[in-house]
Amino acid sequence: MVLELLAHRFNRRRLLEGWVGAMLLGGFTAPFRGYRVSAAAQDVQPASLGVLTIVAGGLDSRNPGEPENSDVLKLCRVDVPNRTLRVVSIPRDLYVTIPGFQQDKITRAYDFGTKANNESFKAGAQAIKDTIAQNFGVEVDAVILTTFNGFQDIVNAFGGVDVTNPYDVSDDAYPTPDYNVKSIYFPAGQIHLNGQEALEFSRTRHQDGDDGRVMRQELVIRGLLERSHSSDIKPSITDLLNKHRKSYDTDLGKSKQLALALSAPDFTNNDVSFTTLSNYIYGDYAGDMWIYSGDWSQIPGYVQGFLDGSIS
């Protein structure tokens, strides 16, 4: 949920990290238990970060022992010196090779890694990194993940988020975390969403499929980045990280997280670009499992080109 740290002053330090975390993007849980800024962390300057490639994701993590699928995966290139962020949304049902395991949907990589290594987050993150490298030819520096509850906490920490919904969205079979269903409705136009509503807005797809869901995720991300510019949001970075440290998990080091936060002042929505793989994938079956297959002679080159800016 990329990138996603809260800046020292939100009227000047923009929450680039927030959008990554919020998407699901998050990552402070383990590293920030009892967070204190070390001397080493304070010495790291934003300019030293250069360019980072980060996977921001959202875990469908409910009951112990059940699969933890990374149902939202966004491959992000953060160019700190040039203040640009480029994001590729990877569909959860994309059928790929998961190194060390098997061919399966990419959503399963994290769970395979953790289950094989005593529920280790770092092992799950490494499985995601290895899968991205194997299939897209992209080396990932860090993974940042959040959960349903973590996503809601992040949005609520911003005081909610404003989005412009392009059309009415309704879903009479929206899946709830307890495996039931409910009806939800979001009218077209400018709407304000709290954490739960933002989660529902970002997850629903029965009306318009995966493309509609990805579009709404991007609206929420952009809304959070815009919200971070508001002068009424002024808590310190350490206060926020301590308060919401259980909303994220990441393998990005503390000093880099801090430096990334301090790099945020010049990022705006004009600096953020999104794309999908829609033009390169198609619905298919692997046995009795519905998947996305794709043109793998084209996909890696497209992903690499978009991330490095040679493809607009």
213 lies in some domain: no
Task: Name the least confident of 16-30, 177-191, 277-291.
Answer: 16-30
Cβ-contact 125, 251 below 8 angstroms: yes
**Domain limits at 98?**
16-157+233-308
190 lies in some domain: no
188 lies in some domain: no
Q: Taking the CA of residue 194 as centre, how many other CA atoms within 13 Å lie in the half-sphere pointing to its CB?
A: 2
Cβ-contact 16, 225 below 8 angstroms: yes
Helix (H, G, I), strand (E, B) or coil at 90: strand
Backbone torsions φ then ψ of 44, nearest 5 degrees: -80, 130
| pLDDT higher than 60, residue 279 | yes
Q: pTM here?
A: 0.85
pLDDT confidence tier of residue 49, bands split at 50, 70 and 90: confident
Task: Name the least confident of 1-10, 59-68, 280-289.
Answer: 1-10
- Copy the structure tokens of residue 168: 């009415």
pLDDT confidence tier of residue 19, bands split at 50, 70 and 90: very low
Tell me the mean pLDDT in the region 220-249: 73
pLDDT tens per residue, range 73-112? 999 999 988 999 999 999 999 999 999 999 999 999 999 9
226 lies in some domain: no
Higher pLDDT, 153 or 62: 153
34 lies in some domain: yes
Task: Name the least confident of 4-13, 199-208, 261-270.
Answer: 4-13
248 lies in some domain: yes
Helix (H, G, I), strand (E, B) or coil at 105: strand
pLDDT confidence tier of residue 47, bands split at 50, 70 and 90: low
| pLDDT higher than 80, residue 156 | yes
Residue length, the chain?
Answer: 312
Domain total in the chain = 1
E strands along the chain, which residues? 51-60, 69-79, 84-90, 95-97, 103-105, 142-147, 161-165, 169-175, 181-186, 189-193, 249-250, 272-276, 281-286, 289-294
| Closest C-alpha among 260, 282, 280 to residue 85 | 260
Task: Name the least confident of 120-129, 146-155, 180-189, 233-242.
Answer: 233-242
Q: 179 CB contacts (<8 Å, ≥6 apart)? A: none
82 lies in some domain: yes
What single-letter DSSP state applies at residue 176? P
- Copy the structure tokens of residue 312: 């607009």
Higher pLDDT, 306 or 48: 306
CA distance 56 to 58: 7
What's the CATH number where 82 sits?
3.30.420.590
Tell me the mean pLDDT in the region 52-80: 92
205 lies in some domain: no
CA distance 51 to 291: 32
